[in-house]
């Protein structure tokens, strides 16, 4: 069982890293499109057609793809003023509950988007503009990013329940002791 769990975690981590690389690449492409469009508009009076649509669509990659990685690092914004005082088991239960709530919320959004995909692909829907950019590619990216996030949330739920049962927090959730070597 431990080997399967280890393999699953490695695979999930690899997928999260690929999603982060794609997200970063999309951010660089967004910057390139904006820069080229501004230069084209100022120098040649010809901006890149549908530049705002392309930047908006690439924003989907920048937002949806890193969610799972951020969850794996416990990097989401959280207010823990009162929960830090609770016992480890209670914090594990709250972590599991929070991950479950996020899973229901984001999973529902991802499910609704993925349900529309076959119809949009079949109908060939596109954004109005010069380039007639199809709507479905970024919706697939969004659904994939949310699916990866939901998978990571399932792992977070399991970790939270394990913490609740055992009283031992995962390594990334343990508070670190202050480094006393820097004090004079």
Higher pLDDT, 178 or 27: 27
Q: Provide CB contacts within 8 A for 63, sequence distance 6+.
A: 145
pTM: predicted TM-score of the whole model, two decimal places: 0.87
Residue 102 has pLDDT above 50, yes or no: yes
Say whether pLDDT at 61 is over 60: yes
What is the Rg, in whole angstroms, of the alpha carbon atoms belonging to the chain? 21
- Number of helices (H) and strands (E) in the chain: give both, helices first: 5, 0
The pLDDT of 107-132, averaged and rounded, is 95
Residue 175 clears pLDDT 90, i.e. is over it: no
- Average model confidence (pLDDT) for the chain? 91
**Which residue is listed with tokens 């010809």?**
46
Place of tokens 């492409």: 29
**CA 6, CA 165: separation in Å to the nearest integer?**
21
CA distance 129 to 157: 43
């Amino acid at each position: 069982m431990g080997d399967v769990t280890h393999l699953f975690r490695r695979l999930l981590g690899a997928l999260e890293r690929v999603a982060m690389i794609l997200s970063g690449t999309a951010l660089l492409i967004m910057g390139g499109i904006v820069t080229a469009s501004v230069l084209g508009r100022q120098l040649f009076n010809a901006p890149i057609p549908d530049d705002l649509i392309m930047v908006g669509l690439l924003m989907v990659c920048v937002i949806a793809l890193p969610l799972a990685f951020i969850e794996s690092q416990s990097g989401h914004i959280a207010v823990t003023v009162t929960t830090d005082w609770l016992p480890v088991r209670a914090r594990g239960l709250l972590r599991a509950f929070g991950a479950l709530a996020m899973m229901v919320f984001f999973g529902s959004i991802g499910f609704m988007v993925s349900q529309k995909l076959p119809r949009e692909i079949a109908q060939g829907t596109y954004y109005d503009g010069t380039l007639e950019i199809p709507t479905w590619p970024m919706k697939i990216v969004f659904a994939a990013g949310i699916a990866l996030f939901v998978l990571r949330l399932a792992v977070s739920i399991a970790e939270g329940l394990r913490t609740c049962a055992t009283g031992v927090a995962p390594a990334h959730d343990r508070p670190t002791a202050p480094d006393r070597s820097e004090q004079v």
